[in-house]
Amino acid sequence: MSKSEQKLTKKQIAIIEAATELFAEKGFSATSTSEIAQKAEAAEGTIFKHFKSKKGLLMSVVSPITVEFYGPMIKKDLDKVFDKEFEYYQDFIRAMIENRKIFIQNNLPVLRILIQEIPFHPELKEQFIEQVGKDIIERIRGIIRFYQEKGQMVDIHTDTIIRTVASTILSYIVARYVLIPEARWDTEEIETERIIQLLENGLSKKK
Amino acid sequence: MSKSEQKLTKKQIAIIEAATELFAEKGFSATSTSEIAQKAEAAEGTIFKHFKSKKGLLMSVVSPITVEFYGPMIKKDLDKVFDKEFEYYQDFIRAMIENRKIFIQNNLPVLRILIQEIPFHPELKEQFIEQVGKDIIERIRGIIRFYQEKGQMVDIHTDTIIRTVASTILSYIVARYVLIPEARWDTEEIETERIIQLLENGLSKKK
Amino acid sequence: MSKSEQKLTKKQIAIIEAATELFAEKGFSATSTSEIAQKAEAAEGTIFKHFKSKKGLLMSVVSPITVEFYGPMIKKDLDKVFDKEFEYYQDFIRAMIENRKIFIQNNLPVLRILIQEIPFHPELKEQFIEQVGKDIIERIRGIIRFYQEKGQMVDIHTDTIIRTVASTILSYIVARYVLIPEARWDTEEIETERIIQLLENGLSKKK
Amino acid sequence: MSKSEQKLTKKQIAIIEAATELFAEKGFSATSTSEIAQKAEAAEGTIFKHFKSKKGLLMSVVSPITVEFYGPMIKKDLDKVFDKEFEYYQDFIRAMIENRKIFIQNNLPVLRILIQEIPFHPELKEQFIEQVGKDIIERIRGIIRFYQEKGQMVDIHTDTIIRTVASTILSYIVARYVLIPEARWDTEEIETERIIQLLENGLSKKK
DNA sequence: AATGAATGAGCTTTCATTCAT
DNA sequence: TATGAATGAAAGCTCATTCAT
């Protein structure tokens, strides 16, 4: 679909898909390139022809998501926020979660890999921050300030709010999809509402 | 100090310490036994004399924490609730965080390893759950219900509350100590208060 | 210029030139075909279209020299020797060195490859001997005998003399251009004179 | 015998011997570590335990010779010159060749490797020069000057003389043992005399 | 209890070569 | 003629593990 994928051969796509599955399942270090080759029905040499190294393959697995995750977000959703100017920040958060939910569900394996491997590969974090940081963080800061000035949100440091919201959402994803998927979970909708409710009352300025 | 450590020789302790540092830094799979031996200034064979296998070493690194983490918790804090020392659940949570804070800070590497490796080693999770589940979860459920009946907490499923509290705390630890330690963080005290405030208003039943 | 090069395409020439440089610099075995392709700005497949195998490429790199080295020599220079009939053998040797000097300097990389690889590729030696042996050696033997009969040269076995002259010259080339190029060398002219002087007095029959 | 060899295990010695044979026969790059392991009846891992890398093995194969070759030379032969045991430089050269002949014959494979690989491994040359250069070259210079002042040798630059002698001897060894061993060679004694005769008359100052 | 030499399976990576386009 | 994706064998090297000392 995206430009970067157009030039990939069938074998390359098969390799990336196999690697994604295996990295998510067993972890990057515990996955061997021969396993990947086997699963992708490709020769081991083919992997290194195209991705140079195992780490290069990891980057190719993980890179698109950092682009795609924020790419559409900027152009469609964030603009929508400014256009629509949600009256309550809760609606803004709900819209964001709603919008990214499908994406997250479709890309869960890659997100798992990203979360697992970030502590061990500084480049991953840097690449992620570079993609996100430059544009998004700044715009989100603006939005948060907008709601703070409206008197809806507490007056603590903007970045702390962003961190709190982000880590609350992330912790739900990690708990549900990585750590304890076997626990009894409610439907996505209910859990989402619960998160929003938690954030809502916790961060709201009370009159 | 603890019983399990009394019988360990100096070399065994050195090996466990070296393994802890390396597993935390590079991940279990990406750490080699020879590296561990070198860092511990022990022979490669010595590791296998005592820990049988690399995975056995992982268990020896991680096991004590599952015991030590919950041991003190049961005897002191949980009982205090029923002694009515904490009228409000916020105080109970604050006390628990306070109490475990030092322990967490002292054992951060092992906790990192535990969080990182749980998805790949079912035994780890089982062992963890066995330690916690049998005794603690049941008692905590009782405590939550205690505050629910008192009309202090929302009437959602008890386990969901536990999960929310746990993952909120966990996500703070991971964010601060694993993912983005370089961000500007306030003092532990302030951050703790913020977490409690978030949980407090989010979970309180409003009159 | 030569017949054998007339039919070569630009790509083929580029490949041979790249291979020559790399074989000389790193050795035949330590050079990979992909490196050659890259340096020649050709596709990997192109090499094998034209040269069948890596060894075939080596032969194509080295072959022309065995032909060219002796081809022109036979027809022009060696005949000149018989025509002119140098009075002293020193002049014959000097003429030969003088004449081949430019060629050697122009083809040093290929000569390096030839010297380096001969011990490992019997075919190279055989090809070399076939080119040289059949015609030249026999003619040179005649010339040496001519000077021996004239009473100018020592009466040891003709081939030993050839070998001595050849290896003296060769050892100078190897020392100057392969082993210790960084040593302080005099000009080619002076070094040449020194070689001739060494051979002259060493091989001359004293009255 | 030597100190450095005392600590080597049987397997290590077997590996060095196998490597020596194979490097000499097929060249360093064209020899695989698995071949070496097979010939040495050792596991491939054992090679890398002790020699770290294939290149490390090459150094271990070649290193001792640079030490052993020059060690005895200093103490015995060079001193004799100043003890006036050699009135003529021819006798000095003859003694040196004589003395090193057995060593050379015993260590021919390693010498072959050294000569073959020096152009591709700068460290080899540096190590060689370090061993020789510091002590020996300076002493040999003194000796040459000694015979020059005695009026026995030509007055060209001392280093040029050294180079000429060295490369004459080397070229004989290479020709006889590396390039064309199948040619009809006289006995070592006769060939040695021929070399000396070549050098003698070529370098002697004529009255 | 502790060592470290030895192992061989398996790792990531490179190689010369083939073939459809 | 020229390409470059694809191959699989083999390369150099690392690994967890064993065992005689």
What CATH number is attached to the domain comprising C84?
1.10.357
pLDDT over threshold 50, residue C149: yes
Q: Reduced to 3 states, what is the DSSP secondary structure of residue B152?
A: coil
| Local structure of residue B204 (DSSP, 8 states) | B
Q: Is A155 in the B-facing interface, judged by CB distances under 8 Å?
A: no
Using the 3D structure, point to which of A52, A73, A95 is the last residue of a domain.
Answer: A52
What CATH number does residue D10 fall under? 1.10.10.60
Residue B57 resides in a domain: no
Q: Which residue has the higher pLDDT, D156 or D76?
A: D156
Q: Give the number of C-D residue pairs with CB atoms closer than 8 Å.
A: 88
Q: Residue A1: what pLDDT?
A: 38
Q: What is the sign, positive or negative, of the torsion defined by CA atoms of A189, A190, A195, A198?
A: positive
Give the Cα separation of C189 and C186 in Å (integer): 8
Chain F nucleotides with an atom closer than 7 Å to a protein C-beta: 1-20
* Lookup: nucleotide whose C1' is closest to B44 CA: E4
Total domain count for chain A? 2
Give the Cα separation of A48 and D35 in Å (integer): 26
Give the Cα separation of C186 and C176 in Å (integer): 10
Judgement on whether residues A91 and A193 belong to the same structural domain of the protein:
yes
In the chain, the amino acid numbered B108 is L
Closest CA to A166 of A189, A133, A119, A190: A133
Give the Cα separation of A160 and B185 in Å (integer): 8
Closest CA to B181 of D207, A122, D19, A109: A122
Q: Is C3 in the D-facing interface, judged by CB distances under 8 Å?
A: no
Closest-CA distance of chain D to residue C13, Å = 25
Q: How many CB atoms lie within 10 A of CB B37?
A: 20
Query: Which residues, including other chains, have CB under 8 Å from residue D35's CB and lie 6 or more apart?
Result: D22
Q: Please list the alpha-helical segments (H only) found in chain C.
A: 3-6, 10-26, 33-40, 44-51, 54-72, 79-84, 89-106, 108-117, 122-132, 138-149, 158-174, 188-203
Q: Which residue has the higher pLDDT, D5 or D87?
A: D87
Q: Reduced to 3 states, what is the DSSP secondary structure of residue A207?
A: coil
Interface test with C, best of D128, D162, D167, D185 (most C CBs within 10 A): D167
Judgement on whether residues B134 and B38 belong to the same structural domain of the protein:
no
Using the 3D structure, point to which of A29, A52, A75 is the last residue of a domain.
Answer: A52
Judgement on whether residues B46 and B142 belong to the same structural domain of the protein:
no
Q: Is D30 in the C-facing interface, judged by CB distances under 8 Å?
A: yes
10 Å CB burial of residue C102 (0-12, 13-18, 19+) is: exposed
Give the Cα separation of B111 and B156 in Å (integer): 29
Of D28, D167, D201, the CB nearest to C201: D201
Q: Residue B134: what pLDDT?
A: 65
Domain range holding B199?
Answer: 62-203
A125 pLDDT band, cuts 50/70/90, is confident
User: Between chain B and chain A, are at least 3 CB pairs below 8 A?
Assistant: yes
Q: Give the number of A-B residue pairs with CB atoms closer than 8 Å.
A: 84
Give the Cα separation of C109 and C103 in Å (integer): 11
Q: Average pLDDT for residues A52-71, to the nearest whole number?
A: 85
Nearest chain D residue to C172 by CA distance is: D167
pLDDT over threshold 50, residue C1: no
Using the 3D structure, point to which of B17, B34, B52 is the last residue of a domain.
Answer: B52
Long-range contacts of D20-23 (CB under 8 A, 24+ apart): D20/D61, D20/D109, D20/D110, D20/D113, D21/D109, D23/D58, D23/D61, D23/D109, D23/D113, D23/D117
Q: Please list the alpha-helical segments (H only) found in chain A.
A: 3-6, 10-26, 33-40, 44-51, 54-72, 79-84, 89-106, 108-117, 122-132, 138-149, 158-173, 188-203
Judgement on whether residues B87 and B186 belong to the same structural domain of the protein:
yes
Judgement on whether residues B48 and B66 belong to the same structural domain of the protein:
no
Of C171, C184, C200, the CB nearest to D167: C171
Question: Cα C67 vs. chain centroid, distance in angstroms?
Answer: 10
Chain E nucleotides with an atom closer than 7 Å to a protein C-beta: 1-20
Judgement on whether residues B184 and B100 belong to the same structural domain of the protein:
yes
Digit-by-digit pLDDT tens for chain B (207 residues) are: 444 445 788 899 999 999 999 999 999 999 999 999 999 999 999 999 999 999 999 999 998 887 776 666 555 666 666 666 788 888 888 888 877 777 787 888 998 999 899 999 988 888 887 776 667 788 888 888 988 888 888 888 888 888 888 888 888 888 888 778 888 899 988 888 888 888 887 666 554
In the chain, the amino acid numbered B154 is V
Residue C84 resides in a domain: yes
Q: Are D159 and D141 in contact (CB under 8 A)?
A: yes
Judgement on whether residues B78 and B38 belong to the same structural domain of the protein:
no
Judgement on whether residues D73 and D108 belong to the same structural domain of the protein:
yes
Whether D120 sits inside 8 A of C27 (CB atoms) is: yes
Query: Which residues, including other chains, have CB under 8 Å from residue B113's CB and lie 6 or more apart?
Result: B20, B23, B24, B28, B58, B61, B62
Give the Cα separation of A26 and A45 in Å (integer): 22
Residue C48 resides in a domain: no
How far is the first Cα of chain C from the last one, in angstroms, to the nearest whole number? 49
Judgement on whether residues B18 and B111 belong to the same structural domain of the protein:
no
Judgement on whether residues D102 and D190 belong to the same structural domain of the protein:
yes
Q: Contact partners of D by the rule of 3+ C-beta pairs under 8 A?
A: C
Q: Reduced to 3 states, what is the DSSP secondary structure of residue D185?
A: coil
Closest CA to D178 of D125, D114, D102, D94: D114
CA-to-CA separations, B51 to B14, B111, B128, B130, in angstroms, rounded: 13, 20, 20, 22
Q: Is D194 in the C-facing interface, judged by CB distances under 8 Å?
A: yes
Q: Which residue has the higher pLDDT, C30 or D81?
A: C30
Whether A194 sits inside 8 A of B164 (CB atoms) is: yes
Interface test with A, best of B112, B163, B203 (most A CBs within 10 A): B163
C141 pLDDT band, cuts 50/70/90, is confident
Give the Cα separation of B125 and B134 in Å (integer): 13
Q: Are A49 and C44 in contact (CB under 8 A)?
A: no
Give the Cα separation of C40 and B125 in Å (integer): 57
Residue A57 resides in a domain: no
Q: Residue C5: what pLDDT?
A: 46
Closest-CA distance of chain B to residue A157, Å = 10
C55 pLDDT band, cuts 50/70/90, is very high
Give the Cα separation of D173 and D179 in Å (integer): 9
**Residue–nucleotide distance: C199 CA to E21 C1' (Å):** 62
- Residue B172 main-chain phi, psi, to 5 deg: -65, -45
Query: Which residues, including other chains, have CB under 8 Å from residue C192's CB and lie 6 or more apart?
Result: C94, C97, C98, C101
For chain C, what's the residue count? 207
Nearest chain D residue to C115 by CA distance is: D179
Interface test with B, best of A162, A163, A186 (most B CBs within 10 A): A163
Q: Are A53 and A44 in contact (CB under 8 A)?
A: no
Give the Cα separation of B51 and B37 in Å (integer): 12
- Of A193-197, B49-53, C67-71, the range with the lowest mean pLDDT is C67-71
10 Å CB burial of residue A135 (0-12, 13-18, 19+) is: middle
Q: Residue B75: what pLDDT?
A: 59
Of D186, D200, D202, the CB nearest to C197: D202
Judgement on whether residues B48 and B14 belong to the same structural domain of the protein:
yes
Query: Which residues, including other chains, have CB under 8 Å from residue B43's CB and lie 6 or more apart?
Result: B37
Residue C42 resides in a domain: no
D31 pLDDT band, cuts 50/70/90, is very high
Q: Nearest CA to the C1' of E3 belongs to which residue?
A: B43
Give the Cα separation of B89 and C30 in Å (integer): 72
Q: What is the sign, positive or negative, of the torsion defined by CA atoms of D84, D90, D94, D97?
A: positive
Residue C176 resides in a domain: yes
Which of chain A's residues have a Cβ under 8 Å away from the Cβ of B178?
A: 119
Whether A179 sits inside 8 A of B118 (CB atoms) is: yes
Q: What is the pLDDT of residues C78-109, one digit of tens each?
A: 666 666 678 888 888 888 887 777 778 788 89
Judgement on whether residues B92 and B194 belong to the same structural domain of the protein:
yes
Residue C129 resides in a domain: yes
Average predicted confidence (pLDDT) for chain A: 83
Question: Cα A129 vs. chain centroid, distance in angstroms?
Answer: 12
Closest-CA distance of chain B to residue A131, Å = 16
Whether C116 sits inside 8 A of D118 (CB atoms) is: no
Q: Are C116 and D116 in contact (CB under 8 A)?
A: yes
In the chain, the amino acid numbered C165 is V
| Local structure of residue D204 (DSSP, 8 states) | B
Give the Cα separation of D204 and B182 in Å (integer): 78
Query: Which residues, including other chains, have CB under 8 Å from residue C180's CB and lie 6 or more apart?
Result: D163
Residue A183 resides in a domain: yes
